[in-house]
Amino acid sequence: MHRFKQLSALARNLVYSVFGILMITGAGWMFAQTKLNDPSCEHFPSLLMKIHGAAAMVALILLGYLFNHAKIGWRMKKNRASGLSVIFVYLFLIISGYDLYYASDENFRALISRFHSWIGLGALIVLAVHVLIGRTIRINREKRTNQGAIKSSG
């Protein structure tokens, strides 16, 4: 059986950075939609979407890397519910992002855009909960390990 190992600091920082860029550019794009009539902001939504799209490509690579993390966690029955929530949220965002890029029906595109935007913002909460549960599990495991070491040495 594999010993579950948390992500390295480099991987964790890369995941947080890329998903943070996705969050900021997505939220910025939502805000920019309210300023479309302002001539000083006319290029801003386009720039945000270019950055968002580039970050999404990097995020897809990271999700491939994180597959092993999820696979080992699943086998060890660690943090399954929140892990599945993260997987389903990002799967929805990947599919809806594809639909936004390729959909030709403007009504469908507007509907998907709203769902993609709000669920994308909610992804921050889902990921944060997953991380916090994982940290709590690790801290509790370390406490049990330390208490066992103290009892066996005493």
The 10s digit of each residue's pLDDT in 58-103 is 999 999 888 888 888 889 888 899 999 999 999 999 999 999 989 8
Tokens of 25: 């550019």
Q: Spell out, as residue ranges, where the chain has pLDDT lower than 70.
A: 1-5, 149, 152-154
- The pLDDT of residue 93 is 96
- The pLDDT of residue 4 is 59
- The pLDDT of residue 7 is 80
What residue spans define the domains of the chain? 9-153
Q: How many CB atoms lie within 10 A of CB 152?
A: 7
Separation CA 149–CA 154 (nearest Å): 9
Residues 6+ apart with CB under 8 A from 87: 70
Classify residue 59 by burial, with Cβ atoms within 10 Å: 0-12, 13-18, 19+.
Answer: buried
- The pLDDT of residue 115 is 95
- The pLDDT of residue 98 is 94
- The pLDDT of residue 1 is 45
Question: Which CATH number describes the domain made up of 9-153?
Answer: 1.20.950
